[in-house]
Chain A
Amino acid sequence: MKTLEIPTFECETGNYHTFCPISCVAWLYQKIEDSSFLVVGTKTRGYFLQNALGVMIFAEPRYAMAESEEGDISAQLNDQKELERICLRVRNDRNPSVIIWIGTCTTEIIKMDLEGIAPKLEKQLGIPIVVARANGLDHAFTQGEDTALAATTHRCPEYNCHTTNQQKEDVTGRAVVDVAPNNNSSGEKSKPIRCNLVLFGSLPSSVASQSNLESKRQSVSVSGWLPSQKYTELPALGEGVYVCGVNPFLSRTATTPMRRRKCQLIGAPFPIGPDGTRAWIEKICSVFDVKPDGLEEREDQIWKNLSDYLEVITGKSVFFMGDNLLEISIARFLIRCGMVVYEIGIPYMDRRYQAAELLLLQHTCEKMEKPTPRIVEKPDNYSQVQRMHELQPDLAITGMAHANPLEARNIDTKWSVEFTFAQIHGSVNARDAPELVTRPLRRRSDSILGCRSLSRQTVDV
């Protein structure tokens, strides 16, 4: 992978608002159906979870807090015994296939040896225990998923290309696995289905199967997903397996299979927006030596479907305050939609993992003849608000802490967290992101009367 230098990288103070990375339990417990999450930490974390997740907390979720008390902090209580007691209860209450411990700032600071305790308890309780250190000291928001998936990577079964198909070494020496069990037509050489591809990133199952279909259309079948719907169905990893990410915040998860499981990483732009989806599939195809078929027409078709939204947003300007690491991909997509992006705030920028995405961003800017936005790592919210005051963007994509105050200052806002939960991946969902982005803008053009015009007297006396 090559690194790319865009001249406008900046780094600020890191005084910005974002969700605590433990929020990843909210979507991961829904994704991994047989899991149970245990957040080990103080009341502060629990309070955040219960407020951030709102209604979900009432739905008897499969996650809980192991709330540290004073005795735990001062080591008067034995960590292992305490965790054992709590995990026993979790096992009895929910009977999960895996318990995932989420380490927090608290466990970091008091140096609770979760990684050391887990294997012991695992043996004792007979349930796998995965440890993910998703704390606010090191990570922001979606990076929580990154730590959880990176930890899960170690639990994937071993893939052995030599035993499954030794005969299938192609010219380059790359192992190509014939996977589809119903693929009995080994004689049909023209369309071999190859499936040593594992995709990583937690997506709703419908979106995941859409992605599967999309790549299958190009004769590349996906052999597995990390995470899978069930913990017991984790995909096999090993030498000869290709992995590719679907989300920009998964840099740890990307390196772990590479370094620890000898997989090969496909560095591609992310399948967000029709342009991203096409570039993503093209890159995967190129790795498997497949000539992509009909992608261009398909992309054109989707852009046509978006025309009503494009009308609303073309020429409008947008400012990303930055809190979930999806910013680069969404900005790239919006520039392709014809918007002007003033600033992309982002908590953390992995220039290696996002290299292809950054390149696509640059190309998109050139193609659309838009200025390259400045990318601000670890932004400073206060300075950003000052800048916004000068720039007066048409739209600010921001966290809820700033949304209402900005609206009151006459800047339309879109709550950034929605992009994390909405289905924005792949061609099928191409309409969802612009739907979110245009909502505040449409509201304005639908002419809701503002305070000023509402208070104006319309009757002549």
Chain B
Amino acid sequence: MKLAYWMYAGPAHIGTLRVASSFRNVHAIMHAPLGDDYFNVMRSTSERERDFTPVTASVVDRHVLARGSQEKVINNISRKDEEQHPDLIVLTPTCTSSILQEDLQNFVDRASLSSESDVIPADVNYHRVNELQAADRTLEQITRFYLDRARKRSTLDRSVTNAPSANIIGIFTPGFHNQHDCRELKRLPGESGIAVNQVIPEGGSLKYLKDLPRAWFNTVPYREVGLVTATFLEKEYGMPYISITPMGISNTADFITQIEKLVNVWASALSGKRLSYKLYVDNQTKFVSQAAWFSKSIDCQNSAGKEAAIFGDATHAASITKILAKEMGIRVSCSGTYCKHDAERFNEQVQGLCDEVTVTEDHTEVGDTIARIEPSAIFGTQMERHIGKRIDIPCGVISSPVHIQNFPLGYRPFLGYEGTNQIADLIYNSFNLGMEDHLLDVFGGHDTKGVSTKSLSTDRREINWTPEAESEPNRIPGFARGKTRRNTEVFAKQNNIPEITIDVMYVAKEKSSP
């Protein structure tokens, strides 16, 4: 047993449900006790989803415990089949069903005899994998199911599309800024004449899954979900894939270089022409993305050498680390991830970009590290935002676990060239806010004017300001004048100094500043 207050990645079934409900017309049935369908609430509230979440529970109650599910699961599957005619029903195990060790495969086999929909059991082990791994696994399972079937029925069209095209794998609900990223990602190859063949799972239709192999290559924008599917497609269908996340200027450039390489393999074979995106990258970097210019501007100069701590999922934490260290000259004191299963690769990616690496699922460990380092800004998840609040350090949220405020209505991609702009804003604003707060502190807080002498009003007369000292506060910025005056008087009171001279003022300032 483990004492825990908070977790970064959810339980396995959440991952399965996220993938299933991202596809169009797929229904998930959870084998779970009452109250475990909490996923519906999350999706409905955080994504402000207009449709009913296609997830229901086949409720495990005392009867099930005593006699097994028997016909219950099968009835629930057939019922859903009749009511809503989904293309696919995914029977989702939870911790409860894994402990009960009911034979879900058997239910599925029996239910598929009578139902029009396809039925499959999600093949995830509750205790071995977390939310992200399960999502990765389920996506591959569904893809494989439909491709294998198409192959058996020989409806599979193995010819590649005439024009270069790509699949985008791993956009799903409710992912961190996934919707915006998807739009940006479609644009990225689109502008360079590459069509998007399919996006899965978000909005993907199962009918067209068999056309996945027609694309020239696959892109997997997030390491957490989609890699397994991409490797499967590579192995079985010889499709190459790009696993570089186009986040930040240099990563995006790398991403496009990869595209160029992959496209040219086919292009030169098909038409003998070679494509070059060098000019495209140059133009985008100079004119669309402001981030390159920003990192040269005075603003960014000011934040050079400042310290930051980074924590999040492997994709975002690694990319942001790279952006801060390489593109903005900010010192990353600590970079970390909760994706323990991807630790090796993460270490490799941030090697040399940060002082220390933390791989942990324990938020208190992250909190302690941050408190020890005392960075000027944190880039992390919602949890780090709260850690930052507690110790007065600004935090920009860069990764899930998500919160409703991570589903902005406005266009806020993290990927591609527009993404670089968004990230630059996020980073600059976090540091800038911290700086502003700090300045206010130095100058004694917001302008408090007359109120400042309140506590001393009775014996105000005892303290005299020499004329020179009297004029000195006028040289301090207006908003801090009141507070400085007061601090000086308090200091004088405490030290029994009857008259405030300029010297006293400076001593006071020295004493009051930390």
Interface residues of A (CB under 8 A from B): 14-15, 17-21, 40, 42-44, 46-48, 50-52, 57-58, 61, 64-70, 72-73, 77, 82-83, 85-86, 89-90, 105-106, 108-110, 135-141, 382, 385, 399-405, 408
Instruction: Specify which chain B residues have a CB less than 8 angstroms from the CB of A109 in the assembled complex.
Output: 65, 96, 99-100
Instruction: Specify which chain A residues have a CB less than 8 angstroms from the CB of B6 in the assembled complex.
Output: 50, 57
Residues 428 to 446 of chain B near chain A (Cβ within 8 Å): none
Instruction: Specify which chain B residues have a CB less than 8 angstroms from the CB of A403 in the assembled complex.
Output: 44
Bound CA span A108–B61, Å: 11
Pairs A-B, 3 closest by C-beta atoms? A20-B35, A136-B33, A401-B40
Q: Which residue of A lies closest to B404 (CB)?
A: A54
Instruction: Specify which chain A residues have a CB less than 8 angstroms from the CB of B34 in the assembled complex.
Output: 14, 18, 20, 136-137, 139-140
Q: Given the known A-B contacts A44-B94, A58-B386, A109-B96, are A137 and B10 also in contact in the complex, defined by CB atoms under 8 Å? A: no
- Is there an interface contact between B11 and A43, defined as CB atoms closer than 8 Å? yes
What would 6 A/B residue contacts be, using CB atoms closer than 8 Å?
A20-B35, A42-B95, A43-B11, A86-B3, A137-B61, A404-B49
Stretch among B50-58, B277-285, B407-415, B447-455 lining the A interface: B50-58
Q: Given the known A-B contacts A105-B33, A405-B49, are A48 and B2 also in contact in the complex, defined by CB atoms under 8 Å? A: no
Interface 0/1 of B228-261, CB less than 8 Å to A? 0000000000000000000000000000000000
Q: Which one of A14, A44, A83, A90 lies within 8 Å of B13 (CB-CB)? A: A44
- Is there an interface contact between B10 and A47, defined as CB atoms closer than 8 Å? yes
Bound CA span A138–B34, Å: 8
- Is there an interface contact between B59 and A382, defined as CB atoms closer than 8 Å? no
Interface 0/1 of B106-143, CB less than 8 Å to A? 00000000000000000000111000000000000000
Q: Given the known A-B contacts A69-B1, A109-B100, A405-B52, are A52 and B38 also in contact in the complex, defined by CB atoms under 8 Å? A: yes
- Is there an interface contact between A57 and B5, defined as CB atoms closer than 8 Å? yes
- Is there an interface contact between B11 and A44, defined as CB atoms closer than 8 Å? yes
Instruction: Specify which chain A residues have a CB less than 8 angstroms from the CB of B35 in the assembled complex.
Output: 18-21, 48, 136, 140-141
Where chain A touches its partner, the secondary structure class is: helix
For B38, B59, B61, B127, which residue has the most chain A Cβ atoms within 10 angstroms? B38
Instruction: Specify which chain A residues have a CB less than 8 angstroms from the CB of B94 in the assembled complex.
Output: 44
- Is there an interface contact between A66 and B96, defined as CB atoms closer than 8 Å? no
Residues 11 to 34 of chain B near chain A (Cβ within 8 Å): 11, 13-14, 32-34
Q: Which one of A21, A47, A57 lies within 8 Å of B14 (CB-CB)? A: A47
| B61 → A minimal CB distance (Å) | 5
**Interface: B368 (CB within 8 A):** no
Q: Which one of B3, B32, B44, B76 lies within 8 Å of A64 (CB-CB)? A: B3
- Is there an interface contact between B7 and A399, defined as CB atoms closer than 8 Å? no
Q: Which residue of B lies closest to A41 (CB)?
A: B95
- Is there an interface contact between B3 and A90, defined as CB atoms closer than 8 Å? yes
Q: Given the known A-B contacts A73-B127, A401-B44, A402-B44, are A137 and B95 also in contact in the complex, defined by CB atoms under 8 Å? A: no
Q: Given the known A-B contacts A14-B59, A20-B38, A72-B1, are A400 and B99 also in contact in the complex, defined by CB atoms under 8 Å? A: no
**Count of residues in B whose CB is under 8 Å from the partner chain:** 48
Given contacts A50-B6, A136-B36, 13 further A-B contacts (CB under 8 A): A14-B59, A15-B76, A17-B37, A19-B38, A44-B95, A47-B7, A69-B2, A73-B99, A82-B1, A83-B1, A85-B1, A90-B3, A404-B50
Instruction: Specify which chain A residues have a CB less than 8 angstroms from the CB of B511 in the assembled complex.
Output: none
Bound CA span A86–B5, Å: 12
Instruction: Specify which chain B residues have a CB less than 8 angstroms from the CB of A18 in the assembled complex.
Output: 34-35
- Is there an interface contact between A382 and B56, defined as CB atoms closer than 8 Å? yes
| B21 → A minimal CB distance (Å) | 12
Q: Given the known A-B contacts A44-B94, A57-B6, A72-B1, are A137 and B49 also in contact in the complex, defined by CB atoms under 8 Å? A: no
- Is there an interface contact between A17 and B96, defined as CB atoms closer than 8 Å? no
Q: Given the known A-B contacts A43-B10, A73-B99, A404-B44, are A137 and B60 also in contact in the complex, defined by CB atoms under 8 Å? A: yes
Contacts across chains A and B counted by CB atoms under 8 Å: 147
| A424 → B minimal CB distance (Å) | 22
Q: Which residue of B lies closest to A409 (CB)?
A: B50
- Is there an interface contact between B127 and A14, defined as CB atoms closer than 8 Å? no
Q: Which residue of A lies closest to B35 (CB)?
A: A20
**Interface: B274 (CB within 8 A):** no
Bound CA span A86–B127, Å: 20
- Is there an interface contact between A105 and B1, defined as CB atoms closer than 8 Å? no
Instruction: Specify which chain B residues have a CB less than 8 angstroms from the CB of A42 in the assembled complex.
Output: 11, 95, 126
- Is there an interface contact between B11 and A89, defined as CB atoms closer than 8 Å? no
| B406 → A minimal CB distance (Å) | 13
Bound CA span A65–B363, Å: 14
Instruction: Specify which chain B residues have a CB less than 8 angstroms from the CB of A68 in the assembled complex.
Output: 1
Residues 327 to 359 of chain B near chain A (Cβ within 8 Å): none
Q: Which one of B60, B83, B127, B128 lies within 8 Å of A382 (CB-CB)? A: B83
Instruction: Specify which chain A residues have a CB less than 8 angstroms from the CB of B37 in the assembled complex.
Output: 17, 401
Q: Which residue of A lies closest to B40 (CB)?
A: A401
Instruction: Specify which chain B residues have a CB less than 8 angstroms from the CB of A66 in the assembled complex.
Output: 1-3
Bound CA span A66–B2, Å: 5
Instruction: Specify which chain A residues have a CB less than 8 angstroms from the CB of B59 in the assembled complex.
Output: 14-15
Instruction: Specify which chain A residues have a CB less than 8 angstroms from the CB of B5 in the assembled complex.
Output: 57, 61, 64-65
- Is there an interface contact between A401 and B53, defined as CB atoms closer than 8 Å? yes
| A38 → B minimal CB distance (Å) | 8
| A317 → B minimal CB distance (Å) | 22
**Interface: B286 (CB within 8 A):** no
| B120 → A minimal CB distance (Å) | 21
Bound CA span A137–B60, Å: 6
Bound CA span A309–B42, Å: 32
| A417 → B minimal CB distance (Å) | 9
- Is there an interface contact between B61 and A14, defined as CB atoms closer than 8 Å? yes
**Interface: B41 (CB within 8 A):** yes
Q: Which residue of B lies closest to A55 (CB)?
A: B386
Instruction: Specify which chain A residues have a CB less than 8 angstroms from the CB of B126 in the assembled complex.
Output: 42
Bound CA span A44–B13, Å: 9
Q: Which residue of A lies closest to B130 (CB)?
A: A43
- Is there an interface contact between B1 and A20, defined as CB atoms closer than 8 Å? no
**Interface: B183 (CB within 8 A):** no
